[in-house]
Amino acid sequence: MRTSDLKISISGIRGIVGQSLTPQLILKFSEAFSSFIGEGEIGVATDTRPSGSMLKYAVFSGLLSCGAIPVDMGILPIPSLQVYVKSKHLRGGISITASHNPVEWNALKLIKNGGFFLSPYEAEELLDYYYQGRFKRVAQSGIIKKEGHPFQIHETKILDFIQGDLIANKQLKVIVDPCGGAASPYVKSFLEQLGVEVKCINCGLSNGFPRNPEPLPQNITALSESVKKHGADIGFAQDADADRLAVVDEKGSPIGEEYTLALAIQYYLNHKQKTPVVINLSTSRVIQDISEKAGVELIRTKVGEINVSKKMLDTGSKIGGEGNGGIIAADIHACRDSFVGMALILEYLAVSGKKTSQLKSALPYYKMIKDKIKANFNDRKRILHLIQAKFDQGQTNTEDGLKVEYPDFWLHVRPSNTEPVMRIIIEGKNDRLVESIYSEIKECL
């Protein structure tokens, strides 16, 4: 088995099941994680991929062999697992999910005490355990515990935080599409407890996903049609592990994941509290505009949830996230959370009395193009050099790949944390300019 076929990063370990990702490899990584994190209870959850059960029992074996006590959480959204790990003071957690990747992929997302992902340094130390075989095995294992209500803590925290009576009084109609993923057993009941009328599509737990799990506009057309058909006020789409959220307005038009984050942050700053805002380097300038108007500091980090979460904790920020629809509200937990995102946006609709499209259109307009190209390690260096030479007059940031800012547009080219690709993002107010810059980059490459 070639571990080089895997994608190993601060986001965890992922690969194609049966090829680069096998139960044997999962067993060894679980042994390494248990040895690294220490003895104690470790929560284990999955999304709904057909490979989940096979990999879960390999995880159990690895944990038990090194003295840990697995807590079987069943199917559970990753933010719910993070909240549970923190609230119950577990040693850590493992989510068996490949998030937005296609169904043939799976992964381990590793969570430490406190409910956060490993930092880059901790991930490197864990890999030392794996490669050196530094496993603290025991002669006699413990037992596997079972949690019967794993979502309850997460749900209660949000319901206590949100003004549910305001939402209920508006009698809003919602369509939600969890993609048959980890949110499917919970999301309809959760929204109903917020006092809205709910129709759930793609809620079944089938062998695979009914659509591409990444909640991009082209993948959520069924949600758009359902919103129009049923005259709903809003539509929500989640990815397979339920940390990302996309929104469809009452006309059936996706507003874009960047604007999903923008609505949540704008509402929080105007109606909850003023606080510094933390986002990553790839997130839209619309958040900068919102922060400036609210009179709060905007802080940017490298891409990756742990980078944003850590900076939020360090600066006392209560709201932030990533432009892929990853809303982070530290009042619940400093992790990307589609459930708190839905709650905040529904409260915004209720308090404002406006339609979803009106809230979005009131925000500054930006055109953003996102693309990716396959690239190995050597290709990455060459690509970054080419782009830097091409756009050498702008303000350059090399903290995470290459970001170049001009007054009327910016671009960011960086290696992905989750796929063997380079991500390309260009944004500006002028559609033709952004498309022209995109064409220049493609021609350059």
CA atoms within 13 A on the CB side of 313: 13
CA 35 to each of CA 68, 130, 142, 284: distance values in angstroms, whole numbers, following the listed order: 9, 9, 15, 40
Tell me whether residue 99 is one of the annotated catalytic residues.
yes
Catalytic-labelled residue, pool 51, 95, 99, 317: 99
- Quickly count: other Cβ atoms within 10 Å of residue 133's Cβ: 10
Angle between helices 78-87 and 152-161 (to 10 degrees): 90
Q: Are 6 and 106 in contact (CB under 8 A)?
A: no
d(CA 175, CA 188): 9
For residue 92, which phi and psi values (nearest 5 degrees)? 180, -170
For residue 188, which phi and psi values (nearest 5 degrees)? -65, -45
Q: Which residue has the tokens 């925000």?
A: 363
- Quickly count: other Cβ atoms within 10 Å of residue 69's Cβ: 18
**329 has which bridge partners?**
319, 333
Residues annotated as catalytic are: 99
